[in-house]
Amino acid sequence: MTAPARTVPALPPALFEEWSAYLKPEDLAQIQAAYQFSESAHHGQFRKSGEPYIAHPLAVANILAKWHLDSQALTAALLHDVVEDTEITKNEIAEQFGKPVAELVDGVSKLDRIKFDTQEKAQAENFRKMLLAMARDVRVMLIKLADRLHNMRTLDAVDLQRRQRIARETLEIYAPIANRLGLNSLYQEMADLSFQHLFPDRFRVLTKAVRTARGNRREVVTKVLESIERRLSENGLEVQVQGREKHLHSVYRKMREKHLSFAQVHDMFGFRIIVKDTTSCYVALGLLHGLYKPIPGKFKDYIAIPKANGYQSLHTTLFGPFGSPIEIQIRTAEMHKIAEAGVASHWLYKSSNTSLSELQKKTHQWLQSLLEMQSESGDSVEFLEHLKVDLFPDEVYVFTPKGKIMSLPRGATAVDFAYAVHTDIGNRCVAVKINQELMPLRTELRNGDRVEIITASHAKPNPLWLNFVATAKARAHIRHFLKTMHFAESVQLGERLLLQALAKFKTALGDVSDPQWNRLVRDSSAKSRDEILSDIGLGKRLAVIVAHQLMALGEPLPPDSRPAGAVVVRGSEGLAVQFARCCGPIPGDPIIGIISKGQGMVVHTHDCPVIAKSHRDPERVLDVQWDASPTKLFDVGIRLVVANQRGVLAKVAAEIAAAESNIQNVAVDPEDGGTYTGMRFTVQVMNRMHLARIVRDLRRIPEVVRISRVKG
């Protein structure tokens, strides 16, 4: 006797009725089918809390329905764990519910079936895949955010270690993404839930303190609310005035960042004023400034210059009754919808309003920047690093020479601005004018700066820029350029080192046949001949061993050999050849080359104490010599002892300039009241003869008592 077929339940009536308020009957039919499909697929599966698994996808779909997302998104939400947790494939979903739904499900699904070296790499690759799917269709991220929100709401059911890992991941990645997409209420709830699970004791203490403060300040809040409503209505404004309380995580973050006690957080309670149009926002602002005195420097106009996520409001802080500061936000109803729902407002409130289209445009630009970033990042972990940099912007607003407003994170420099304008501008920038004045490229930008980038066709990114850029886009482009350049330069150096190693076999590089190279590439699991040469240049392979391998794969080795010639150093090799800081070699110094793994060749002087103390592999020591005509200037340190008299620094600087040298750095010993003082210069020279000429000229200055070259 066979068991009767199980009856698959229908969508709960309450939800069906709620969703039918904005969805068409044919849409509801598809969602009903998706619910039954998902319920059958997950039948017998339970969550950690003990409830049937179908409760989770149903809750996720309901969160999306609150944003009035379309039927495809709700269908994908109901099916989002089917591919991951059951034997059903993406193709089966495509056949039954259409390709767009299958793509959404695939974008949200993790990569659990692919094995990664580390948990960190698996997590990073999951984010990378999901964000690239989001760049094609932002609904992928909306589904994922709703999925994460429901998981956070039910996090008590999992063990402590996993709970803290998920909470930290939410706080570092998902909450900032929600904020970046303008989903304010979702961002605040995620941040508060993460705080609750990461720091339960602090959460409890702060919750109690806020509850107590709410009772103590009720009288003040009520008085302010009534006076605001009275003043605005007396002047004919139609308004809604809402009291709002600072979220717990926001309070905690402010206390931690500014080292405040709870009693010192005065902006716990604020007010939101919603008016009918933009003009009324500014009228209300003027009336409130007449009611209570504004605190200088605490006014922000996000209507004229919206935030990157499309947020618009006027913010001001006033001196309230009893001397307590009051935070006020003033916005229209349309601005309020966008502030709460962000990009989801595209579905939630369909309108031709320009602020909506502007928001979609900004979101699209950010998503496109993610695509650019991932194409230039070497791996998924690096991509996730860049993304984290990009997700915490505290914006500054600057102007291009043509008056266009650009938003950048606080701390952004002129180089960040250059890359924000265009990648080529960033790669070729050499100088910047800020408010018509020439400034260093590392200058941090401030609100209202007018920025003009000066470029040169021969210029290229400098590795030092990575020390001060603030945006993920700039960092990714600079790293990509340097990696490409480093690879090309290390290939060239590797070729020269291999040529030297082959010379003892009386073989030129051109004599090595393609079959020999192909076999070596295959045997060594390299991708190409250039990769082997690059590894030699970077010290990951030894040239002499590669030469032996090549010869062993070809004709028998000749019985006699001759010593290899020295490697010639020109100074223009770039990143593949570095000059040791410990001894600072310059042309004319006797030198020796050391192959350092991952760095390429490092050039030292023969008498460098670092070389003498360290035990070097003889195979990594190279005979090197200077090119007859070096192509760059070299930094060298000199120290002077001078009479402590007025104007001596100017005399020394003038002599160095007259000797056709640049001063890179200068330091003077602190004033001690003595007759003599010390000065230390870093100057640029062509060679030892040039340095000798500078030293000779400096000795002619009567105030110079002693001069010496500084190494290290």
Catalytic residue among 27, 70, 84, 444: 84
- Tokens read off for 408: 């950048």
Active-site annotation holds for 85: yes
CA 688 to chain CA centroid, Å, is: 43
Q: Are 84 and 56 in contact (CB under 8 A)?
A: no
Question: What are the residue ranges of helices labelled H in 295-353?
Answer: 333-341, 345-348
Own/partner long-range contacts of 165-172 (Cβ < 8 Å, ≥24 apart): 166/197, 167/193, 167/194, 167/196, 167/197, 167/198, 168/194, 168/198, 169/123, 170/194, 171/195, 171/198, 172/388
What are the Cα distances from residue 17, in Å, to 10, 56, 141, 319? 13, 19, 26, 48
Q: How many residues does the chain have?
A: 712
**Which H helix or E strand runs over 664?**
strand 663-668
What are 680's strand-pairing partners? 639, 667
Catalytic residue among 70, 85, 106, 385: 85
**Which H helix or E strand runs over 220?**
helix 218-234
d(CA 634, CA 489): 19
3-state secondary structure of 243: strand
What are 659's strand-pairing partners? none
Read off φ and ψ for residue 326, nearest 5 degrees: -125, 125
What are 568's strand-pairing partners? 625
Calculate Rg over the CA atoms of the chain. Answer: 33
Cα–Cα nearest to 284, from 231, 323, 246, 244? 231
Active-site annotation holds for 84: yes
Show the 3-state SS of 109-139. Answer: CCCCCCCCCCHHHHHHHHHHHHHHHHHHCCH
Q: Which residues contact 523 (CB under 8 A, 6 or more apart)?
A: 549
Catalytic residue list: 84-85
